[in-house]
Amino acid sequence: MDFGIQDKWALVCAGSKGLGRACAESLAEEGVNVVIVARGVEALAETAAHIGANTEVEVRTVSADITTAEGRKEALSACPKLDILVNNAGGPPAGNFRDFEIADWEKALHANMLTPIELIKSVLDGMIERKFGRIVNITSAAVKAPIPILGLSNGARAGLTGFIAGLSRQTPVHNVTINNILPGAFATETMNGRMAAMAKQSNQSIGDVAKSRLNAIPAGRFGEPKEFGQLCAYVCSAQASYITGHNFLIDGGVYNGTL
């Protein structure tokens, strides 16, 4: 199926590794020019080279911290026009909420709630004017089924989800949609870090933690970033103009509910 987004421009935040990178790759495979933002220059260069070698799209990289106003400004100024925005940033650390200070909460809120909202504020009216826009926020399965040691993530992402629920109904009349994609357990650096934290907290080996996580996944495996990126590309497609305000859970069947 042709997704009808060839020659569009996408800004993919936190796009040099893992799920963000997979979104950038899948969009590029659909002919979308991509601006990829991350802090580390090496992974950015490697990702850009990989996309450049496998597609014919234009790839630009911005080395910046997307959670800062300056970083967002740099990222936005690298896009000639913005048709697709993939909001993403690193997740907050795990821990016992009794140890979190206000500064920890502020950091989590900036990364996982306020940064996406600020970026949406910057791009939405242009999308509305041009009658095309796709905004995807990478959140977490923890929005639907909170994970006890991820209080900062549970809280900050729930705030974003509530905001998006309201905004996303105001835009589809202009062919601008806003959706969230909620990853379960995907094989990325972040997930390895999470498993290491869980192992430390529960006094187990990382292998044992991985095994018990796998036992709880009906699909019997961790997700592959590529399948996440492909869902993102579909949600950004021309065909998906009637889909807005959704929370797409992609978790191998872990969430055990009828709806």
Binding site for ligand NAP (CB under 6 A): 14, 16-20, 37-40, 43, 65-67, 88-91, 138, 140-141, 183, 185-186, 188-191
The values of phi and psi at residue 206, to 5°, are -60, -35
Query: What SS3 state is found at 44?
Result: helix
94 vs 176 by CB, closer to ligand NAP: 94
127 vs 141 by CB, closer to ligand NAP: 141
* Shortest distance (Å) from residue 226 CB to ligand NAP: 12
Residue 191 C-beta-side C-alpha neighbours within 13 Å: 20
* Shortest distance (Å) from residue 158 CB to ligand NAP: 13
Q: How far is CA 202 from the centre of its chain?
A: 28
CB 36 within 8 A of CB 62: yes
User: In the block, which residue shows the tokens 């910046």?
Assistant: 64
* Shortest distance (Å) from residue 66 CB to ligand NAP: 4
Q: How far is CA 249 from the centre of its chain?
A: 12
* Shortest distance (Å) from residue 6 CB to ligand NAP: 25
130 vs 246 by CB, closer to ligand NAP: 246
* Shortest distance (Å) from residue 197 CB to ligand NAP: 12
Q: Which two tokens stand for residue 24?
A: 């950038």
Q: Which two tokens stand for residue 252?
A: 């191998």
128 vs 149 by CB, closer to ligand NAP: 149
Q: How far is CA 109 from the centre of its chain?
A: 15
Give kind and range of the element (H or E) at residue 186. Answer: none
65 vs 83 by CB, closer to ligand NAP: 65
> Using only C-alpha atoms, what is the Rg of the chain?
18
* Shortest distance (Å) from residue 2 CB to ligand NAP: 27
* Shortest distance (Å) from residue 39 CB to ligand NAP: 3
CB 182 within 8 A of CB 158: no
| Nearest alpha-carbon partner for 241 in 181, 180, 171 | 171
119 vs 178 by CB, closer to ligand NAP: 119
25 vs 176 by CB, closer to ligand NAP: 25
Q: Which two tokens stand for residue 200?
A: 């430390």
